[in-house]
C-alpha cells in the first residue's frame, strides 16, 4: 500500500513540476535570420529593450521571470507573422499562457513610451511638409494623405454585426494620415469595420483642426467628401487641366497607400494572410496603433520594407464614391488647384 501511495505522489509531483525551456534572447539569433523572423534589425530591437525594458521587467506570477528581451522578441514575432501562440511559446521558451499577456504588455508599453505619431502644428514643420508634397506632386499646401484600412479581427461578442466590413469579414476600420516620408502623422483606430471612411474622418479631431486652420490641406480618395481642407479626385475629368490635376492628386495620395502597404507587409498580423487578431476590438485598435508607432521608428532608423503584391491587392479598398451635396467652397478650392500650371 505504501508503494502504491508513493507511486501516485511521485507521478503527481511530475505532473505539477513546471519545465522551462531555454529562453531566446536577442543575441541568440543569427543576423541573417533576425530581420526575416522579427522584421526589425538587431540594433532596433536593442533600442526597444532600452526604451521599454523597465516597463516590461515584471515577474510572471507563479513562474520564472521572462526578460524584457524575450518579451520583445515574442511580441515582434507575433506582429511579424500573426503566429500561433504554441509556435511562439515553443520558439522562445515560454508557456503558451504567457504569450497573450506578453503581447498585451508590449503593445501597452509601446503606446505609452513611443510618442512619434505627430501631426505638424508648428510653422516650421508645416512648411517642411508642404515643401515635400509640392516637390512630389506640384500641389501646394499639402501636409498629408488620408485613407482607411481594414484590420481583420476575431468575431466580437458584442455588436458583432457592425464589425462586418463590406468585404464580408469582421474588422476594425483604421484611419491614418501619411506624409511623404511614409510616416504616420495621425491615426484613428476605434471604428467598426462597417463604418465608411468618410464617416470616420467626419468624426475625427483632425477634421476640426483642419476646418479651423487656413492653408493646410489633405488628399483623399473618392470615399471622402470634398472640402476646402480635403481634396478629392475629379470623377469624370472633362479637360486636360482636370486630367492633370487627377494625375498630381494620385501621385500625392499614393503615400498613404504605400504607407499601409509597408505596414501590413512588415506586420502580417494586420493582414488577412496572418489570420485574424484574436482580441477584443479595443485591444486590436491598440495593437494597430502600436504597429504604426513601430513603423515610424523603423522609418526613422532607415529600415526598408518592400510592399508585397498580395498586400497591394488586399489594401486596394477604393470605397464607393460618396453622394453628397457639392461643397461649394471645396469645389472652388479644387478649381484653383485644377488651374495651376
One DSSP character per residue, 188-234 reads EEEEETTS-HHHHHHTSHHHHHHHTSTT-EEE--TTS--BTTEE---
Residue 250 pLDDT grade (very low, low, confident, very high; cuts 50, 70, 90): very high
Of 305, 290, 273, 287, the residue nearest 182 (C-alpha): 305
> In the prediction, which pLDDT does 22 show?
63
> In the prediction, which pLDDT does 138 show?
97
- Average of per-residue pLDDT across 308-333: 69
> In the prediction, which pLDDT does 14 show?
47
Query: Per the confidence metrics, is the pTM higher than 0.85?
Result: yes
Give dist(CA 126, CA 9) in Å, integer.
Answer: 72
Query: Between 97 and 119, whose confidence is greater?
Result: 119
> In the prediction, which pLDDT does 83 show?
74
Q: Is the pLDDT score of 323 beyond 50?
A: no
Give dist(CA 305, CA 320) in Å, integer.
Answer: 30
Query: Between 128 and 91, whose confidence is greater?
Result: 128
pLDDT of 220-237, one tens digit each? 999 999 999 999 999 999
Secondary structure class of 170 (helix, strand, coil): strand
Under 8 Å CB-to-CB from 276, ≥6 apart: which residues? 152, 153, 154, 169, 170
CB atoms within 10 A of CB 267: 25
Under 8 Å CB-to-CB from 56, ≥6 apart: which residues? 68, 71, 72, 105, 106, 109
What is the chain's Cα-based Rg? 24
248-253: Cβ within 8 A, 24+ apart: 248/137, 248/138, 248/139, 249/137, 249/139, 249/219, 251/136, 251/137, 252/133, 252/136, 252/137, 252/139, 252/142, 252/145, 252/219, 253/145, 253/147, 253/219, 253/220, 253/221
Query: Between 108 and 305, whose confidence is greater?
Result: 108
Query: Between 327 and 277, whose confidence is greater?
Result: 277
Strand partners, 177: 146, 186
For residue 55, give Cα distances in angstroms to 109, 135, 301.
Answer: 6, 42, 22
Lowest mean pLDDT among 111-125, 157-171, 298-312: 298-312
> In the prediction, which pLDDT does 6 show?
45
CA 253 to chain CA mean position, Å: 18
pLDDT of 35-50, one tens digit each? 888 999 999 999 999 9
Cell of 224: 471622402
CB atoms within 10 A of CB 242: 18
Q: Is 263 exposed, middle or buried (0-12, 13-18, 19+ CB in 10 A)?
A: buried
- Average of per-residue pLDDT across 6-34: 59
Q: Is 33 exposed, middle or buried (0-12, 13-18, 19+ CB in 10 A)?
A: exposed
Q: Is the pLDDT score of 313 beyond 60?
A: no
> In the prediction, which pLDDT does 312 show?
74
Q: What is the mean pLDDT of the chain?
A: 89
Contact 252, 145 (CB under 8 A): yes
CB atoms within 10 A of CB 77: 22
pLDDT of 134-164, one tens digit each? 999 999 999 999 999 999 999 999 999 999 9
Give dist(CA 141, CA 153) in Å, integer.
Answer: 37
- Average of per-residue pLDDT across 216-222: 97
Residue 205 pLDDT grade (very low, low, confident, very high; cuts 50, 70, 90): very high
- Average of per-residue pLDDT across 190-205: 96
Amino acid at each position: 500500500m505504501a508503494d502504491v501511495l508513493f507511486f501516485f505522489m511521485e507521478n503527481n509531483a511530475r505532473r505539477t513540476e513546471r519545465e522551462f525551456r531555454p529562453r531566446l534572447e536577442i543575441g541568440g539569433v543569427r543576423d541573417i535570420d533576425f530581420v526575416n523572423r522579427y522584421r526589425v534589425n538587431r540594433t532596433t530591437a536593442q533600442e526597444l529593450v532600452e526604451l521599454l525594458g523597465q516597463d516590461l521587467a515584471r515577474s510572471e506570477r507563479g513562474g520564472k521571470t521572462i526578460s524584457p528581451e524575450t518579451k520583445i522578441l515574442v511580441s515582434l514575432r507575433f506582429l511579424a507573422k500573426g503566429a500561433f501562440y504554441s509556435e511562439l511559446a515553443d520558439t522562445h521558451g515560454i508557456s503558451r499562457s504567457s504569450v497573450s499577456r506578453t503581447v498585451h504588455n508590449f503593445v501597452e508599453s509601446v503606446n505609452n513610451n513611443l510618442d512619434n505619431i505627430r501631426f505638424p502644428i508648428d510653422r516650421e514643420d508645416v512648411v517642411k511638409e508642404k515643401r515635400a508634397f509640392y516637390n512630389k506632386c506640384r500641389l501646394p499646401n499639402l501636409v498629408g494623405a488620408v485613407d482607411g484600412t481594414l484590420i481583420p479581427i476575431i468575431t466580437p461578442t458584442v455588436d458583432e454585426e457592425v464589425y462586418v466590413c463590406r468585404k464580408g469579414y469582421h474588422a476594425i476600420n483604421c484611419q491614418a494620415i501619411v506624409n511623404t516620408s511614409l510616416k504616420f502623422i495621425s491615426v484613428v483606430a476605434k471604428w467598426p469595420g462597417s463604418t465608411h471612411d468618410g464617416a470616420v474622418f467626419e468624426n475625427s479631431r483632425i477634421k476640426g483642426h483642419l476646418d479651423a486652420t487656413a492653408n493646410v490641406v489633405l488628399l483623399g480618395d473618392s470615399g471622402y467628401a470634398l472640402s476646402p481642407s480635403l481634396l478629392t479626385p475629379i470623377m469624370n475629368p472633362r479637360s486636360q487641366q482636370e486630367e492633370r490635376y487627377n494625375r498630381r492628386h494620385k501621385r500625392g495620395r499614393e503615400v498613404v497607400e504605400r504607407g499601409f502597404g509597408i505596414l501590413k507587409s512588415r506586420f502580417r498580423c494586420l493582414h488577412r494572410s496572418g489570420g485574424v487578431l484574436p482580441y477584443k476590438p479595443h485591444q486590436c485598435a491598440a495593437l494597430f496603433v502600436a504597429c504604426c508607432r513601430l513603423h515610424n521608428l523603423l522609418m526613422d532608423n532607415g529600415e526598408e520594407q518592400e510592399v508585397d503584391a498580395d498586400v497591394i491587392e488586399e489594401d486596394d479598398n477604393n470605397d464607393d464614391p460618396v453622394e453628397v451635396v457639392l461643397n461649394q467652397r471645396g469645389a472652388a478650392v479644387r478649381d484653383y488647384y485644377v488651374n495651376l500650371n
